Amino acid sequence: MNKKILLVAVIVVLVITFYGLDFHHWLSLDKLKVGAKGFQQWQSTSPLLVGLLFFVFYVVVTGLSLPGAAILTIAAGALFGLFWGTVIVSFASSVGATLAFLMARYLFRDSVQGRFSERLQVINTGIEREGAFYLFALRLVPAFPFFLINVLMGLTHIKVWTFYWVSQLGMLAGTVVYVNAGTQLARVENLKDILSLPLLLSFILLGIFPLIAKYALSWFKRRRQAG
């Protein structure tokens, strides 16, 4: 059997399994609140196993470009705390993104580059010269969906290692913000807790982070051009 056909078949089976087992229904804040206590009890008895399973599940979700990465990031904060939640999500999201990147490259790059080689020449040249900066800008300011960046970058000539480390670095700040929001959500027991200062600060950060990132990127770009 053709290797590409086999890979597509595996992806289809995993996606069908994901929806067939209703995993997508559990990737919501309501379900997170309902299952948090039971999950934490399981975690207290087998912390390494739970952390590993969460890591693998996150990699699968992001690698297959399935919905729910944002909820999983918040869940990591609620279940593992700020430090370990950030560590787990940072590596899992980067590994998953790289898997999606590699699958797009293996399945589609040759046909896309062959069909649109002339039109893509400028893009390929720019990626070879400043690919890391372009990717960092996209990761820092989420102007495009997470999965779309993975797929599109897979169609270019950017190196795999460059894609991985730039993605991990560029997504780190946003990961911390979302994981921190999860740590605060885990403390909400009644309506009064919604007005707590840490929780309000977390949601303020969620709102203004894209603006801060955009300003920082513009400043960095000006300094880079001046240098």
Number of domains the chain is built from: 1
Share of the chain above pLDDT 90, in %: 16
First to last CA, the chain: 53
pLDDT recorded at residue 101? 93
pLDDT of residue 48: 87
- Segment 166-208, tens digit of pLDDT: 899 888 878 888 888 778 765 544 434 444 566 556 656 655 6
- What residues contact residue 145 under an 8 Å CB cut-off, 6+ apart? none
> 160 falls in which pLDDT band (50, 70, 90)?
very high
Q: Give the pair of three-digit tokens for residue 34.
A: 């309902």
pTM higher than 0.75, yes or no?
Answer: no
Q: Which domain holds residue 139?
A: 3-226
What is residue 191's predicted lDDT score, i.e. its pLDDT?
39
The pLDDT tens digits for 12-68 are 888 787 776 666 656 665 666 566 666 767 777 778 888 898 999 999 999 988 888
**Nearest-10 Cα torsion for 175, 151, 62, 212:** 10
Q: Tell me how far the alpha carbon of residue 216 is from its chain's centroid.
A: 21
> Following DSSP, what letter does each residue of 5-49 receive, concatenated?
HHHHHHHHHHHHHHHHTTHHHHSSHHHHHHHHHHHHHHHHH-HHH
Dihedral angle over CA of 107, 111, 113, 117, nearest 10: -170
Q: Residue 86: pLDDT band by 50, 70, 90 thresholds? A: very high
Cα dihedral 76/79/81/82 (nearest 10) = 20
- 120-155 pLDDT, tens digit per residue, is 666 666 666 666 777 887 787 666 778 888 888 888
Higher pLDDT, 155 or 89: 89
Structure tokens at 150: 């993975």
What is residue 195's predicted lDDT score, i.e. its pLDDT? 46
